[in-house]
Amino acid sequence: MVEAGDLFAPAASGGLGRSAARTFAQLKEGGAAGLALDELAARAGFQPNTVGKHLSGLAERGVAERRGDRWYATERAAALA
């Protein structure tokens, strides 16, 4: 199981950091409808470029995916402890 603490550890430790954790929390709240980048940025309180970087890191780790112009938390994301 992937541990949220490992995933969102400081970047210097190989994690995505607390900012990405905030983006991820908002992405999960988007549920099955998903969120467009601009929507997610507004909810998380970051610039779209910043959220785009977060999403890239989350996608590389298999907990977010893009379908069309919307982003979704994956089933693997539900397993985060």
Q: What is the pLDDT of residue 74?
A: 95
Q: What is the CATH number of domain 4-79?
A: 1.10.10.10
pTM: 0.88
Intervals of the chain under pLDDT 70: 1-5, 81
Bridge partner residues of 64 (DSSP) = 73
Distant-in-sequence, close-in-space partners of 7: CB < 8 Å, separation ≥ 6: 15, 16, 21, 61, 63, 80
At residue 3, the pLDDT reads 60
Question: Please, where are the H alpha helices in the chain?
Answer: 4-7, 18-29, 37-44, 48-60, 75-78
Q: Report the pLDDT value the prediction gives residue 12, as an integer from 0 to 100.
A: 86
Q: What is the domain partition of the chain in residue ranges?
A: 4-79
